[in-house]
Every structure is written in structure tokens, then in C-alpha cells.
């Protein structure tokens, strides 16, 4: 009999972290391993000789693994949840776990639109949602933007109101028949007209002939996504919130009084068990790996950015085609993204890769609608992964006794994320 667990070969160590406690159970999962190895692992497991985190020190086990609250996901919702938890529980221990070196979804990939919904998008929503639900959704987006700006300050997030517009092409002119109707619907919430006409700016911006009308959204702005995320991260650190990156959560196990959150330790090739009283899952499109069965479908977004363009006339942020296409000026460049509606099935993926058909359409519209006759070069491209469902409302709910969900932002994480984090934190602390 081996006297010390450390004598077990490294490649066998993962067996100690498995759920099997008998040789029979282990044999079904690991048929190629010798019986003696399986018996030994089962014996160590049953006798408590080998447990999770076999290379953890006494200090690590005592001081680095247990928290009052753990948040999975360091995107806008995750960091906002952690900050709201700190506000409601000033002395609590809070940990944020992020699987990537940087937030891995859409929080650092988005275009930085501080938006509440364009005219054609709201008209499209009215086909599947009652008016009252749309008002609730717009209200949630406004509340989220207000909380974000109040929390960090406009200077920190690079917030500006340089104009927000929607391009109307021939196929969308019918939307103008509902212009006054939608303004009337939104006026009690916004206290002024949501939309106004801005056709006089079409030639000033230099748009192509396909642009027939321009609608100004009077309640939207823009921000700098990188500055916003850095601001949230810095505020978390100032607020004594721990953030661990490269920490992929591989399993979550709820027990009577706490939750065990198992994290892959890639350097030591082992799994480390963190524990908390309450767990917030803020992983948006990637939630199904931890909480299966939810109405969440991933949606990939394609984005390109040009090299700086001398004398660029365009200023502000722009939507088109029910919000599926969007572009803006940033640092003398055009950032242009979207087109998911061209291939819903193909873009329903968690893979960070390119859809050449959509990229070709983005480049075509860039050359013919946005920058006709203006020399430009594409500098680089990227993709982000969003989360969608049957409706556009986020999932904010208690999943079980100690596990809570704040997921499925519907492509509106910038607008809604801060308010979703606040609502989730209130829900969690009310059950503490």
C-alpha cells in the first residue's frame, strides 16, 4: 500500500476529483486503467486521504477558498453584481471568477452604444410583445445606463452625446408611418419625443443614395467600451472585491449551507474547490454549461474597424435594419458590426470565428452606404458572443437555495447590465 497520496502518478491525480468512490463505478468511466489503480483511488477517496486541490497549502486552504459571495463572470453584469453586493454588504468577502484573461463574451467586444432601442427595432418588437412589456424593457435599459453613469461617471466611461441616428432605406420607409405613434407610446416614460427627423444631415455625413431618411434618437449616447470595463475593474479592486482570471469553473455543487465552485487550475493540472454562501452566475451565453435547460441561445456578432480616415465627416452612433446593423465613429475610424439576421442559424454559436458572408456584406455596406467615394482600409476584425431567448428580457432569478442567475442580455448588456447587477444583488442579499 502506498503510504502518501503524493506518490501517485500525476496523470492519475484527477481521479481523486471524480465522483466515483468504488472500483466498479470507476471501471465504467475509466475502463483502461489497471484495477489496482482504481482500487487505490477509491480507497483514498473513501478514506478522505486524497481530496480536491491536492497541491494546496494550509495557507491557501485557510485563506483563499471561502467567501460570502462568489460571482462567476467578469463582464458588465458580473462586475456590476459584485459592486452592488459590496454596496449592500460592506463587510462581506466577494470573489469574481473569470475563465479568460479578459472578459470572455461581449462586454469587451461591443460597439459602445448607450442605446434604448431604435424606431424600427421597437416596431419589430411590437409584433411579438405587448406595448407594456416594451415600455418595461426601455425603462430597464434607461435605468441601467443611468446606474452605470452614476456609478463610474461620464468621464471614466467616455460617455458623450454626439447624436444617435437610424438610417432608413427604401425597404424601411413604411416605418415612418408609425413615427408619431411610437413617440406617443414612449412619451410618458421619456417625457419628450423619443425620435425626430434629421434628413438634413444625410448629405453632411456623406451617406450613399440608399439612405432615404435619417431618424434621430433623442435619448441615446455613446461610450468607450474599454474605458467602461477598466473603470468597473478598477472600482471593484478599490472596493475590496477579488477578481481571479484564467479561472474556468468546471462544476457547481450546491450543498445544505453553501455552494462548492470547482475551478480548473491549469498550471498544476488539478481542480480547486472554492466555497461560498451565495453564488451569482453571470455568464450570459455560456451559462448552459453550468445551469442547463435555460432559454438561452448564443448569438455571435461580427465587427470590423477601419484604419483612421482623414477628414471623416461622420459623428455619432448609427443603427439600421431593426438594430441588426450598427456603426459609429471612434478615434477617426468607423467601427461597423452586426448582420446576425443574415444567418441566424450560423451565428447561433459560441465559437469566436468569422462568417465570411456577413463580413462581405459589412464591407459592401461600408463602401456603398457609409463611406461612398471615401478611400478606406479595414484595419482588423473581431467577434463577440451575445445571448438571446424567446423574448428580450434578461433572466434575473433565484435558481435554487444558494444559486442566483443574471444572464441573457439580448445584445443590450451595456444598457441593462448595471441594473441587472443591482436587481440580482438585492435578490441575493435578501436571502442571506
- pLDDT tens profile 349-392: 999 999 999 999 999 999 999 999 999 999 999 999 999 999 99
What pLDDT score was predicted for residue 34? Answer: 53
What pLDDT score was predicted for residue 270? Answer: 86
In a domain, 198, yes or no: yes
Q: Are residues 404 and 281 in the same domain?
A: yes
| Calpha distance 200→338 (Å, rounded) | 26
pLDDT score of 162 more than 90? yes
What pLDDT score was predicted for residue 339? Answer: 97
Question: What phi and psi, each to the nearest 5 degrees, are found at residue 313?
Answer: -90, -25
Lowest mean pLDDT among 199-213, 255-269, 336-350: 255-269
What pLDDT score was predicted for residue 223? Answer: 98
Determine the average pLDDT of the residues in 188-215: 97
What pLDDT score was predicted for residue 35? Answer: 53
In a domain, 146, yes or no: no
Average pLDDT, the chain: 90
In a domain, 27, yes or no: yes
Whether the CB-CB separation of 328 and 352 falls below 8 Å is answered with no
What pLDDT score was predicted for residue 352? Answer: 96
What pLDDT score was predicted for residue 306? Answer: 98
Q: Are residues 316 and 383 in the same domain?
A: yes
What pLDDT score was predicted for residue 25? Answer: 53
Determine the average pLDDT of the residues in 205-228: 97
Q: Are residues 257 and 316 in the same domain?
A: no
Determine the average pLDDT of the residues in 267-275: 89
What pLDDT score was predicted for residue 361? Answer: 98
In a domain, 335, yes or no: yes
pLDDT band of 46, cuts 50, 70, 90:
very low
Q: Are residues 301 and 382 in the same domain?
A: yes
User: For the purposes of burial, counting CB atoms within 10 Å of the CB of 89, is it exposed (0-12), middle (13-18) or buried (19 or more)?
Assistant: middle
Q: Are residues 202 and 323 in the same domain?
A: yes
| CATH, residue 404 | 3.50.50.60
Q: Are residues 239 and 187 in the same domain?
A: no
* Residue 192: domain span: 160-220+297-388
Q: Which residue has the higher pLDDT, 49 or 177?
A: 177
Q: From residue 226, give the alpha-carbon distance in Å to each of 2, 357, 413.
A: 53, 28, 14
Q: Are residues 302 and 212 in the same domain?
A: yes
Determine the average pLDDT of the residues in 27-48: 49
Give me the number of domains the chain comprises. Answer: 3
Lowest mean pLDDT among 4-13, 78-87, 238-247: 4-13
Q: Are residues 381 and 397 in the same domain?
A: no
| Calpha distance 253→157 (Å, rounded) | 37
In a domain, 70, yes or no: yes
Of the candidates 51, 69, 88, which is a domain's last residue? 51
Q: Are residues 197 and 303 in the same domain?
A: yes
What pLDDT score was predicted for residue 92? Answer: 98
pLDDT band of 29, cuts 50, 70, 90:
low
Q: Are residues 308 and 354 in the same domain?
A: yes
Q: What is the pLDDT of residues 135-161, one digit of tens each?
A: 999 999 999 999 999 999 999 999 999
Q: What is the pLDDT of residues 51-72, one digit of tens each?
A: 444 678 999 999 999 999 999 9
What pLDDT score was predicted for residue 349? Answer: 97
Percent of the chain exceeding pLDDT 70 equals 88
- pTM here is 0.88
Q: Which residue has the higher pLDDT, 370 or 25?
A: 370
In a domain, 124, yes or no: no
What pLDDT score was predicted for residue 55? Answer: 78
Q: Are residues 253 and 271 in the same domain?
A: yes
Q: Are residues 193 and 233 in the same domain?
A: no
Maximum alpha-carbon separation in the chain: 86
In a domain, 149, yes or no: no
In a domain, 143, yes or no: no
Amino acid at each position: 500500500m502506498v503510504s502518501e497520496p503524493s506518490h501517485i502518478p500525476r496523470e492519475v491525480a484527477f481521479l481523486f476529483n471524480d465522483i466515483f468512490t468504488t472500483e466498479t463505478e470507476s471501471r465504467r468511466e475509466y475502463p483502461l486503467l489497471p484495477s489496482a489503480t482504481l482500487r487505490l483511488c477509491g480507497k483514498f477517496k473513501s478514506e478522505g486521504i486524497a481530496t480536491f486541490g491536492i497541491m494546496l497549502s494550509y495557507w491557501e486552504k485557510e485563506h483563499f477558498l471561502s467567501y460570502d459571495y462568489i460571482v462567476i463572470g467578469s463582464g458588465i453584469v458580473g462586475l456590476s453584481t459584485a459592486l452592488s453586493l459590496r454596496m449592500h454588504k460592506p463587510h462581506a468577502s466577494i470573489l469574481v471568477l473569470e475563465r479568460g484573461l479578459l472578459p470572455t463574451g461581449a462586454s469587451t467586444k461591443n460597439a459602445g452604444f448607450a442605446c434604448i432601442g431604435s424606431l424600427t427595432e421597437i416596431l419589430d418588437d411590437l409584433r411579438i410583445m405587448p406595448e407594456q412589456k416594451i415600455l418595461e424593457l426601455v425603462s430597464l435599459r434607461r435605468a441601467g445606463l443611468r446606474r452605470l453613469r452614476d456609478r463610474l461617471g461620464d468621464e471614466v466611461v467616455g460617455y458623450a452625446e454626439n447624436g444617435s441616428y437610424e438610417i432608413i432605406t427604401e425597404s424601411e420607409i413604411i416605418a415612418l408611418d408609425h413615427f408619431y405613434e411610437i413617440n406617443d407610446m414612449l412619451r410618458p416614460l421619456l417625457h419628450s419625443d423619443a425620435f425626430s427627423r434629421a434628413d438634413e444631415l444625410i448629405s453632411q455625413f456623406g451617406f450613399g443614395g440608399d439612405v432615404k431618411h435619417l431618424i434621430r434618437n433623442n435619448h441615446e449616447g455613446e461610450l468607450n467600451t474599454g474605458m467602461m470595463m477598466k473603470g468597473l475593474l478598477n472600482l471593484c479592486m478599490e472596493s475590496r472585491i477579488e477578481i481571479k482570471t484564467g479561472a474556468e469553473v468546471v462544476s457547481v455543487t450546491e450543498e445544505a449551507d453553501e455552494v462548492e465552485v470547482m475551478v480548473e487550475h491549469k498550471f498544476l493540472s488539478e481542480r480547486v474547490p472554492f466555497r461560498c454562501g451565495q453564488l451569482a452566475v453571470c455568464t450570459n451565453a455560456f451559462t448552459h454549461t453550468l445551469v442547463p435547460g435555460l432559454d438561452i441561445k448564443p448569438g455571435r456578432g461580427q465587427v470590423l474597424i477601419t484604419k483612421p480616415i482623414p477628414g471623416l465627416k461622420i459623428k455619432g452612433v448609427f443603427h439600421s435594419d431593426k438594430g441588426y446593423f450598427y456603426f459609429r465613429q471612434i478615434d477617426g475610424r468607423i467601427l461597423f458590426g452586426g448582420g446576425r439576421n443574415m444567418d441566424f442559424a450560423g451565428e447561433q454559436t459560441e465559437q469566436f470565428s468569422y462568417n465570411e458572408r456577413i463580413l462581405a456584406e459589412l464591407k459592401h455596406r461600408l463602401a456603398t452606404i457609409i463611406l461612398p467615394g471615401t478611400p478606406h482600409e479595414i484595419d482588423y476584425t473581431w467577434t463577440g458572443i451575445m445571448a438571446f431567448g424567446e423574448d428580450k428580457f434578461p433572466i434575473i432569478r433565484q435558481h435554487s437555495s444558494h444559486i442566483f442567475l443574471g444572464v441573457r442580455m439580448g445584445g443590450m448588456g451595456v444598457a441593462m447590465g448595471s441594473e441587472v447587477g443591482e436587481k440580482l444583488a438585492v435578490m441575493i442579499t435578501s436571502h442571506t
